[in-house]
Amino acid sequence: MSFAFGVTLFALGILISVSLHEAGHMLTAKAFGMKVTRYFVGFGPTLWSFKRGETEYGIKGIPLGGFCKIVGMTPQDDDVEPGDEKRAMWRYPVWKRTIVMSAGSVTHFGLAIFATWLAAMTFGLPNPDFPRTDEQFRAQSAMIAVQDCVLPDTVGRECAAGDAPSPAAVGQLRDGDRITSLNGTPINNYGELLTALRAATPGSTATIGYERDGQPGTTETVLATTKRPPLDDPAGPVTDVAALGVGLAVTTPGLVSYGPVAAVGATGDFLGDMAVATAKAMQRLPEKVPALWHAITGGERDVDTPISVVGASVLGGEAVANDAWELFVMLFISLNFFIGVFNLLPLLPLDGGHIAIAWFERARSWAYARLRKPDPGRVDYFKLMPFTYVVILIGGVFTLLTITADVVNPITLFPR
């Protein structure tokens, strides 16, 4: 029940975001005097509508987005009624058209900023000092968390009642102890502990130096045997290795909360990092297509592959089902930020394509004026239609791939 509620709630959040996106276009267009004839939430058959002034507002039957109709977006549009010629959007100054066309993305950015600021003051934002890569984890001090047992292989199961206690537990090591040596080899960080264990013989007795509450200590225990891949090649072949039955006790908090003022700076830093990550992710989109196809045809789904709104909603459902509301909000923030950036790409039919054409016309007119040549006028959108269709086709295929992958082989962040 909570999973279904989470999926529905996240999908509703997406619908509201897109509806506000279109409202941003509508409100800025109206503010400049442009004529907006329709504003609808959803697509398909009209379920309910009313007209106020010159604009019809309503709800469509398919809740997958929304739209608003601004009269005369391009010189080729034939929706301008007699007497409204001066109100056609394409006749307005380029800066006004830029504001109107970018208002949708600005709305998404505004939602992301506000949600991030609220998150910073409540459950917190990701701590930039928290270790996230193997190298960062191995550089941490070798403060341990004692495991209940050592599983004999890499099968992902929990310790059972019949499993022998871990060597660390037998040696009376405790959570929070810091390992300082193994068989006389000094240990300065967790990575050195892993390396020393790999050099030890499985089943041998090991002498372990540790520090507890600032006091040094020594213990002996028989190392267990388990199977693991090489440290420098996680995808390599597994072999028998020695195991102590400990994990890294990370003392750095994963999330950090802030006051209202400090949250402003933290929000800027977080979204700045997200902007860099988004740019890198968009650059890698073409190389992710084979990975999506691999997932669709039965291969393992890489968690780094793109997801659709379907996949995002499923993850939102998982987050709610596991009471991970911070993940739910982070997904909402990430999706809004990505949509805001994506819509500004200088490609038709995206908003960024219209903005790029408007400024191209302005620059071309300026250049021709300096050359004392007649103004070449407006861009003919009909000539750009083949390129627009290519963008739509590529975008449609990519969307179909991501939705299919999210249905047949979804990404999951929690064990089921």
Say which residues have a Cβ less than 8 Å from residue 246's Cβ, sequence separation at least 6: 144, 145, 146, 147, 166, 168, 173, 179, 193
Element (H or E) spanning 402, and its range? helix 381-408
Separation of alpha carbons 256 and 254, rounded Å: 7
Separation of alpha carbons 146 and 172, rounded Å: 9
Say which residues have a Cβ less than 8 Å from residue 23's Cβ, sequence separation at least 6: 39, 68, 107
Q: What are phi and psi of 153, to 5 degrees?
A: -150, -165
The alpha carbon dihedral of 293, 342, 123, 310 has a sign of negative
The single-letter DSSP state of residue 201 is P
Separation of alpha carbons 226 and 224, rounded Å: 7
Q: Tokens in use for 313?
A: 């909603």
- Active-site amino acid positions: 22
Q: Tokens in use for 253?
A: 């908090």
Count CB atoms within 10 A of the CB of residue 163: 14
The single-letter DSSP state of residue 80 is P
CA-to-CA separations, 229 to 234, 239, 240, in angstroms, rounded: 6, 6, 9
AA letter at 154: T
